[in-house]
Structure 1
Amino acid sequence: MTALALGIVGFGIMGERLLTQALPHPDFRLAAVWDPSPDAAARLAAVDSALRMSGSAADVIAACDVLYIAAPPAAHVPLARAALLAGKAVFLEKPLATDLAEAEAFVAEAEAMGARAAVNFPMASSPAVAQLNTWREQIGAPQRLEIGTHFARWPRGWQSDAATWLSRRAEGGFTREVVSHFLFLARRQLGPLQLLSADVTYPGGDMAETAISAELRTGGLPLALRGSVGRIAEEEDHAWTLTAASGAIRLRNWSLAEQLGADGGWHTAADALPNEKMRPLTLRGQMDKLAALARGEPSSLATLREALDVQRIVEAILASRSPAA
């Protein structure tokens, strides 16, 4: 089967991670990459000295069958719309847009045209989530969900290249960048999300949130959400914890599936891997599904509609309190 021509716009950490999986993948060949940053060009050359930056995003769209969009959020919809109108498949990062109305309009357009498009929520291909699904059959009817996501600092150290927008209220913040992943998992596992109440702490100026607290429902079940910056010593700590009639399970720190034992302690799956080792496996699964999507075959990647539903909740949380003076 002919390999699909992959184009990448935005060559930060996410673009580089996807490229490293795409280069050896039998269903893809690299067509073009574009990022305006000189540092990005150096990173691309470090991956393979034969690789060169294209002249523009338009050049990448023209050269590819599938466009991966890892640019800052304000560019997502313009790039995705241009690619879809050119007949390309699109795989984009979240959030869909910086403006919710723009995201709504884009999703309606894409659905009307039967677009081949998906959003990169890696939990759609996570082996750890697959383990949780197996355990769910053993613990009975779900009763409640808790999500905790905490950081020593924001942005995290490895995100320094994108700190100029990740640290700002307009496009960044940990709720959009990280909490959205766990809300996607809640929606897919348990059902539609509904925000009941929320409280957000902002520092002065235009800086992103430093704490959130929210009560939601997912598929009719109670969901308690907590998040913070600066309250822990380790770089980050996350838990997605589902309590059911006959037990509890959780996803901890992205990749560790754990089950509550009869002894009252949490027990990690025997084949669990730390995130740095799990991430390539998960991304490989995403690439397999992206190839299917691009060829018009069924795929379980996150849909535009799922991403829009998550974005609605995220933006409602962030709008729940006026910024501090």
Structure 2
Amino acid sequence: MGDLRLGIVGLGAMGAEMLAVAAAHPDFTVPLAADLDDGAVARLAPAHPGVAFGTDPWAVVDAPDLDAVYLATPPSSHAPLAVAALDAGKAVFSEKPLAIGLADGRRMRDAAARAGRANAVNFALSDRHAVLEVERLLHGGGAGTVLGVDIRLAFPRWPRDFQSGADWLAGRAQGGFLREVVSHFVYLTDRLLGPLRVDQVSTDYPADGSETAAHGLLRAGDTPVRVAAIAGQAGPELYEWVLWGTRRSYLLRDWSELYTSDGGDWRPVPLTGDRGSEHTRLTLFAAAMRGEHPADLADFATALRVQEVVESFHRTG
């Protein structure tokens, strides 16, 4: 077991996964975990006899013997939990989105700056091998002049099957694919091309529930970034991010498949190294806790820029 003591708050799909990963990670020990749902606690406790489980998130946040807290709770609760943990001297690793209200996101960014502790948001694309490769190719001039980016997403079922237990994901107040998925690709574009500004966006909502369609034109400098996302369609699930260049273009599909074209058909790009996972991002978080500044880990300030873009879609509905 590692020397960094991590408490976990939220034991749904992501919290349960992170608990398993952290419990086996050489840098971390998990002494405490909590979820408001005692059923989640009952399901996980037998597999982790060394963890003290409970149903009070604040018992984890306030615990004096923890070095860090991981948050996998609904996003409206991120700000109070994260700010309290940071003010108590703990590092914080949070699921995305950073928050819902922009004021809460700014509180989290400011608390992190004030505390001087490691702070990170779990964007899955931050250390994927496909992302690191397209970043290397892009910075090496492989694309030529970047003409634009397309973000194309489709969800025949929302929430997706593996998230069916998270009722909040189906609601407009905290859920929807914009916060849960589009945020990953906004982060990626911000990382590769720089901060985004909103040109025009539109969002469609049903009578009850989260968005069913979102379209937008964003810009990174003068480079157009087009967003097209839909839910509830008869068709396959789709995750595509395309960077169009004058010399070569690059397609990231299904989170970790990378393709390139110099004018013809898409061709796969060979990838090496670790694919990127919760394990590798925990390793980066451990490095941040020890005073390093990993480039492949998004901090609260970066996540706030992403949140500002994503929430602009919701203000149109």
Asked if these proteins are the same fold (TM beyond 0.5), I'd say: yes
Quote the offset at 1:107 in angstroms.
1.7
- Partner SS for 1:134: helix
CA distance in 2, matches of 1:43, 1:244: 49
Quote the offset at 1:40 in angstroms.
1.2
Quote the offset at 1:57 in angstroms.
2.0
| One-letter amino acid of the structure 1 residue matched with residue 7 of structure 2 | G
Contact 1:257 1:272 in 2 (8 A): no
Contact 1:6 1:66 in 2 (8 A): yes
* Residue pairs, 1:104-183, within 5 angstroms: 104-136=106-138, 137=140, 138-162=142-166, 164-183=167-186
CA shift digits 1:269-304 (9 cap, x unpaired): 33489xxx94xx422220111001112222221111
Moved more, 224-233 or 169-178: 224-233
Distance change (3 Å), C-alpha of 1:14 and 1:135: same
* Residue pairs, 1:199-238, within 5 angstroms: 199-205=202-208, 207-234=209-236, 236-238=237-239
| One-letter amino acid of the structure 2 residue matched with residue 38 of structure 1 | D
Quote the offset at 1:226 in angstroms.
0.2
CA shift digits 1:238-264 (9 cap, x unpaired): 1110011201001101111111255x2
- Look up the match of 2:303: 307
Unmatched 5+ residue regions in structure 1? none
Quote the offset at 1:217 in angstroms.
0.2
Quote the offset at 1:16 in angstroms.
1.5
- Look up the match of 1:36: 36
CA distance in 2, matches of 1:166, 1:270: 35
CA distance in 1, matches of 2:121, 2:271: 27
| One-letter amino acid of the structure 2 residue matched with residue 310 of structure 1 | V
CA shift digits 1:6-52 (9 cap, x unpaired): 11000111112212221221111111110021331133135435545
CA distance in 1, matches of 2:251, 2:280: 21
| One-letter amino acid of the structure 1 residue matched with residue 114 of structure 2 | A
With the length of structure 2 as denominator, give the TM-score of the two structures.
Answer: 0.92
After TM superposition, the runs of 4+ consecutive aligned structure 1 residues lying more than 6 A away are none
CA shift digits 1:193-243 (9 cap, x unpaired): 1111111110003x1100011011023311110000122433x21111001
Q: 1:316 aligns with which of 277, 299, 312?
A: 312
Unmatched 5+ residue regions in structure 2? none
| One-letter amino acid of the structure 1 residue matched with residue 259 of structure 2 | E
| One-letter amino acid of the structure 2 residue matched with residue 285 of structure 1 | T
- Look up the match of 1:3: 3
Distance change (3 Å), C-alpha of 1:103 and 1:271: closer
- Look up the match of 1:291: 286
Q: How many residues align?
A: 312
